[in-house]
Structure 1
């Protein structure tokens, strides 16, 4: 039997329930590990778009009210491209190097997005829900590691439809 599946078809499907559980687990790992009094964090920066859902959950769990975004584009559909900042967070909020700020994303793949953001805010704490081996060194905290050749299907990218069984029809 030949396997005629495309590389992105080695999929890890994440439901809304799963992303919620995993983001809460990430919050538990980050709790009381910030540089502020009693391990508090000053705020959160969500890397749009994938980091917005986990950032919302983490902000709720850690009672963080100050949240901003950084918009970085590093994918064109399912093809990775050079990372570019489309929108930066408030400079006063970030401070000169991002100390005390949690930078949240859904996934680190090759690490190019986080490498770009880390250059801008070297003292921020970088956390992702999922990590692949090539980008893992760019993350300070993550919950689940997946293989480099796995494509993660997030619930905000999905619609309900028929899927061919793994072993054929």
Structure 2
């Protein structure tokens, strides 16, 4: 996380993520999808939750590894698809700069692409999203956090 790039933080709890995914799923309920394609890894958990809410049993993945060495990012497709995405729901947790989204959009141009969170630079690349956050906002997802003991305030102050 670059301190120059991110000036705001948004922490998403498991409960908040589940509420957000359910709200997005509610917007998708009238559509009929062949299956769901999760963008690994960030889209895996939202895709599983959406699959439950929409009762979709066919789930696949697109696996992309991104590199960011001295601000010269590159992408490597580890696992792609053998179709254009027609009739499929494509899911990711977040669209940020759009680098990954652009690559997946080229691979699956006919998929309906949704994210839970969207930043302005990447927002035009998705068909639907639930919450927009600022470009300079770092989103802390629950799978990247752990529960840890915190000393009572009195013990912190008296040290």
Q: TM-score with structure 2 length normalisation?
A: 0.84
Q: Please show how residues 1-169 of structure 1 align to structure 2 within 5 Å.
A: 7-8=5-6, 10-33=8-31, 40-74=32-66, 81-89=73-81, 91=82, 95=83, 97-161=84-148
Confirm or deny: 8 A CA contact 1:49 1:71 kept in the other structure. yes
Paired residues in the alignment total: 147
CA–CA distance in structure 1, aligned partners of residues 120 and 72 of structure 2: 16
Shift of 1:32: 1.3
Note the alpha carbon deviations across 1:59-101, whole angstroms, 9 max, x for none. 0000100001111123559x78223211124x2xxx3x11010
Residues 80, 152 of structure 1: alpha-carbon distance in 2 compared, 3 angstrom cutoff: farther
Contact 1:29 1:141 in 2 (8 A): no
Superposed CA RMSD: 2.1
Matched with 2:153 is none
Give the 3-state SS of the residue equivalent to 2:139 in structure 1. Answer: strand
> TM-score by structure 1 length?
0.80
Contact 2:7–2:136 (8 Å) recurs in 1? no
C-alpha separation between the residues in 1 aligned to 2:72 and 2:99? Answer: 9
Cα contact 2:11–2:140 (8 A) shared by 1: yes
Deviation by residue 1:120-159 (Cα, 9 ceiling, x = unmatched): 1111010000000000000101000000000000011112
Q: 1:75 to 1:17 in 2, by over 3 A?
A: farther
Unaligned runs of 5+ in 2: 151-156
